Amino acid sequence: MKAYDLVELAGRNLREAVLRNSLTTIGIAVGVASLVAMLSLGVGLQQVFGKRLGRSGLFDTVIVASKQDFRTEDDRRNRPNMQSGEIKSLDDTARQTFEKISGVAEVYPEIRLTAELRFAVDGKAERPHFAAITALPTSANNSEAFEDLQGKFFSGPKAEEAIVLGEFARELLEMPEDTRQSDKQKLSNEDANRLIGKELTLRYAERATNNESAIAPSDSNKAKAADEAGANFDFSVVRREKKLKIVGVVNTEPYGGMRSVSRGRVFIPTGLAESMNFMQPSDLRTLMRASKGKTYMTLIVRANKPTQIPVIQETIKKMGFSTYSMQDASKTLRYVFIFLDMFLAIFGSLALAVASLGIMNTLVMAILERRREIGIMKALGASDIDVKKLFFVEAGAMGVLGGVLGTSLGWTIGRVINFGTNIWLQRQDIPTENFWYVPWWLVVGAMVFSVFVSLGSGLYPASRAAKLDPVQALRHD
């Protein structure tokens, strides 16, 4: 039998028992809707978390350190006695090389220091405060932490501006001690305005480069050896002051790299921090080493997409540096979501499994009702395969229709629940999110799955109809 005849006959048969077939189709639609709603919730949650984690900067960065400073367990095991000549220094040349790796968005040094900050609140006398200062690149503006920023972000990479952490803002404003730790609560706009636009004086230690060698000239052999090794790089420590304009108050600390032992409370632009030549704790260590110029303790390499991290990390590793990223943690997270999606899919599929029994029941009933008709068709020349195909097409048609209806229904349910949830979130003063997301693959997949399940359910009835003895069938009343 030709395809159009099959479809036409199947359509006619479905229309003949329109109520029963409609109910069966609705059953499939409910099953598909449940599957779509569950999976779209899983996908939506995954997206929300992925977006948030992506914006946290945890998953799109690789922290690079020289093997001299940061050696992994593997390095120690495989190369216990590394020679200093083999160690690549993490200098500007290395930085430029990293910038050229495909997929790298930016490379910036991790700068953290503890310094004295002086601030005069409401015209009173200046008071000193000690705080950890963290440099942030301008790209940090997209970070989740700056979502509820009061004021504005740095106007440029070298702007002499600062953003302070809510907790430190309370300290600056000399608010009572017991209210300072309540970092979950935003500073009131009134309090924030008491800080924004005001000046903060930063007192810090600058690493001022000396032109003369620190090694005594009398010891000419040692000086020569040191020169050859490029150690003609010593410095003085000079106390400096810098006026910074407070431009914003942030409630959560943005991600700033690996060494987050001391919590950053004041943030300044990385460009500015680099130009200020802060004295870093690592500088003392570097001084003792043979070095040809300024080296970095660590560099943060940010990728355009988190998926590019493994390749970038591997490339840098091959260059001879120690690397660290949160990819392993993200892998675990991916597994968690795979299990969550699987659980939701199984839960959603239960309704579809019940619906598939409905299809089977409808088709088996149809065989009983159309027994004589099947006998007539066989007497008129229909083959077993023709009869089987006819039942298959009927099951498939119910599956297609149920799939389309179910996907639309699932999508609508998702939208309605998302709408309701967001109203609730708004009332709780929490930013709204799209928890339900129906990607195209879910739409196509749900429809294909619906047809697949329907055809699977039609398998037994179709083969039973095909095997029907025409003589017996024709005798049936």
Residues contributing to the site for another protein (CB under 8 A): 1-2, 4-5, 9, 12, 16, 372-373, 375-386, 469-471, 474
CB of 376 to another protein, least distance (A): 5
**DSSP-assigned states of every residue in 63-80:** EEE-TTT---HHHHHH-T
Least separation in angstroms between residue 393's CB and another protein is 13
Shortest Cβ distance from residue 2 to another protein (Å)?
Answer: 6
Query: Is residue 470 within 8 Å of 378, Cβ to Cβ?
Result: yes
Of 22 and 426, CB closest to another protein: 22
Q: Is 249:266 a contact under the CB 8 Å cutoff?
A: no
What element of type H or E holds 325? Answer: strand 322-325
Q: Which is nearer to another protein, 59 or 391 (CB)?
A: 391
* Bridging pattern class, strands 150-151 and 199-209: unpaired
Between 9 and 53, name the residue whose CB sits nearer to another protein: 9
CB of 381 to another protein, least distance (A): 3
Of 196, 170, 164, 195, the closest CA to residue 182 belongs to: 170
Q: How far is the CB of 391 from another protein (least distance, A)?
A: 15
447: tokens are 């429809």
Pick 246 or 382: Cβ nearer another protein: 382
Quote the least distance from Cβ 386 to another protein, whole Å.
6
Burial of 289 (0-12, 13-18, 19+ CB in 10 A): middle
Distance in Å, CB of 25 to another protein, minimum: 19
What is the smallest separation between the CB atom of 359 and another protein, expressed in angstroms? Answer: 21
Gyration radius of the chain over CA positions:
35
Among 328, 288, 297, 292, residue whose Cα is nearest residue 310: 328
E strand or H helix at 388, and its extent? helix 384-427
CA distance 19 to 11: 14
Between 132 and 382, name the residue whose CB sits nearer to another protein.
382
Please enumerate in sequence order all residues whose Cβ is within 8 A of that of 404, keeping only pairs 6 or more positions apart, or say none: 447
Q: 354 Cβ partners below 8 Å, 6+ apart? A: 27, 31
The nearer residue to another protein, 3 or 216, going by C-beta atoms, is 3
Question: Rounded distance, CA 474 to CA 477, Å?
Answer: 8
State the nearest-atom distance from the C-beta of 3 to another protein, in Å: 11
Least spacing, CB of residue 51 vs another protein, in Å: 55
Please give the sequence-ordered ranges of beta strands (E in DSSP) within 120-160, or none if there are none: 127-136, 150-151
Q: Which is nearer to another protein, 423 or 471 (CB)?
A: 471
Minimal CA–CA distance to 163: which of 180, 188, 138, 182?
Answer: 138
Query: What does DSSP say about strands 199-209 and 127-136: parallel, antiparallel, or unpaired?
Result: unpaired
Dist. CA 119–CA 115, nearest whole Å? 13
- Give me the half-sphere count of Cα atoms (radius 13 Å) on the Cβ side of residue 71: 14
Could you tell me the two tokens for 37? 């709603």
What residues form DSSP beta bridges with 108? 300
Q: Please, what is the minimum distance in Å from the beta carbon of residue 401 to another protein?
A: 20
Nearer to another protein, 41 or 468 (CB): 468
Q: Which pair of structure tokens corresponds to residue 209?
A: 């480069």
The residue (of 350 and 385) whose beta carbon lies closer to another protein is 385
